[in-house]
Amino acid sequence: MLNSFYLAWQYIRFYKLRSTILIACITLITFLPLSLQLLLNKSEDVLFQRASETPLLLGAKSSPLDLVLNSLYFDDETPTLISLNAADIIWDSEMASAIPLYIRFKARKTPIVGTTLDYFSYRKLELSSGRLLNLLGETVIGANVAKRLNLKVGDTLLSSPETVFDLAGIYPLKMKVVGILQPAYTIDDEAVLVDIKTTWIIEGLVHGHEDVTQIKDQSVILSSDAENVSANAKLMHYNEITEDNIDSFHIHGDTSQYPLTAIIVIPNDEKSGTLLRGRFINHEQYQLVKPITVIDGLMESVFRIKHIIDGVVFLVGIATLLAIFLVFSLSLRLREKEFATVFKMGGNRLTTAYLMSTEIIIIGFISLVACFLLLMLITHYSTEIVRLLIIQ
């Protein structure tokens, strides 16, 4: 047996290219369906877990999937915006509490989640260092963000403009990291959490600038009377909130009309939830969706596609196995002389079968080990892959 393994191994080693191709074929054909199943199971877990922890979501009447993916998994696709007064509707109903969300901006490719402190307690997010949000311009970052961007409490993080040519003039905001979360093993590990007003500062709706009444450079002033002073674009806007300039930050307009992407609605009880959903069934502006139902629909579509992929992989698998069979048949013919020599010297005719079987076993074993290692790798990065391939 050992000799068969030795000889088969020498053969595999000598014909490296042929063996590598065979191993790669078997590895891929085994790995593809298994990894697909693994990723789908993982995505099912990730998506369902988060969805089941979020009873209801209020958003604009558009795609429920966009609303759920953005609010729960911080997807890049921003849903149609709603205004802050939608939260008042929920509060006024006295049947549920509301946690506003504004998930639109990014800082170094990481989603900025504008919300309130209720979000932290609702998602059971614990701090590993620092403190929670107190002031405008402060941020608490997820564990993975801190690791990936090498940030610690006291560092700053700059928000990114929405587009490279941001002519609307949304200035990057330098945010101060005041807290780092413990790993929650959810998408919150990948988030930059800020107060909802901070996201409005990033958007330019809340801003701070030099006191126009105190400016010495008169070229900045457009007009001035007893009640109003108008300044031109030369007026310096602050891109960092400090103790010195925090008082200069102010809101223009009606805050109830300020934008949100969604509101997490937490009904007081099941009945309240049902009643609330009833109220929004035919609402003109808003929709109140049950995330678990939306995700269920999404997974149904994903699994329908998976069945098609399974079929394709099955056919490719058969083709690969036939090709492998052909390779071994040709190999058998090419090695006829070698096997004849073995027999002439006194070897059993079955030696040929032993050698070929051992070779197949070794190649199969290496392929399975390679497949196993790849699956381990996929398992290790499954959350990131699911986020990259399915959520985004």
User: Interface residues with other proteins (CB under 8 A)?
Assistant: 3, 6-7, 10-11, 13-15, 337-338, 341-348, 351
Min dist. Cβ of residue 65 to other proteins (A): 57
- Rounded CA-CA distance 292/269 in Å is 17
Min dist. Cβ of residue 20 to other proteins (A): 15
Q: At what angle do helices 350-380 and 336-345 cross, to 10 degrees?
A: 130
Burial class (CB in 10 A: 0-12, 13-18, 19+), 30: buried
Q: How far is CA 10 from CA 27, 68, 241, 358, 388, in A?
A: 21, 57, 69, 11, 42
- Rounded CA-CA distance 284/315 in Å is 49
Min dist. Cβ of residue 344 to other proteins (A): 6
How is residue 38 written in tokens?
């693994």
Strand 110-115 to 192-195 pairing: parallel
10 vs 134 by CB, closer to other proteins: 10
Min dist. Cβ of residue 352 to other proteins (A): 10
Strand 156-158 to 249-251 pairing: unpaired
Min dist. Cβ of residue 17 to other proteins (A): 13
14 vs 165 by CB, closer to other proteins: 14
333 vs 337 by CB, closer to other proteins: 337
6 vs 303 by CB, closer to other proteins: 6
How is residue 198 written in tokens?
């901070």
Residue with tokens 């002519």: 167
Min dist. Cβ of residue 325 to other proteins (A): 21
Q: Count of CB atoms within 10 A of residue 205's CB?
A: 17
How is residue 314 written in tokens?
């099955």
DSSP letter (8 states) at residue 316: H
13 vs 333 by CB, closer to other proteins: 13
21 vs 378 by CB, closer to other proteins: 21
161 vs 347 by CB, closer to other proteins: 347
Phi, psi of 125 (to 5 degrees): -90, 125
- What is the C-alpha R_g of the chain? 31
Whether 13 and 354 have beta carbons less than 8 Å apart is answered as: no
Min dist. Cβ of residue 323 to other proteins (A): 22
Residue with tokens 């499954």: 382
Which H helix or E strand runs over 71?
helix 64-73
Tell me the torsion sign for CA atoms 297, 298, 303, 308. Answer: positive
Of 296, 309, 361, 392, nearest to 34 (Cα)? 309
336 vs 384 by CB, closer to other proteins: 336
Of 211, 222, 195, 263, nearest to 59 (Cα)? 263
158 vs 340 by CB, closer to other proteins: 340
Min dist. Cβ of residue 330 to other proteins (A): 16
How is residue 21 written in tokens?
């191709």
6 vs 381 by CB, closer to other proteins: 6
Min dist. Cβ of residue 347 to other proteins (A): 4
- Rounded CA-CA distance 250/381 in Å is 43
Min dist. Cβ of residue 12 to other proteins (A): 9
Tell me the torsion sign for CA atoms 139, 143, 147, 148. Answer: negative
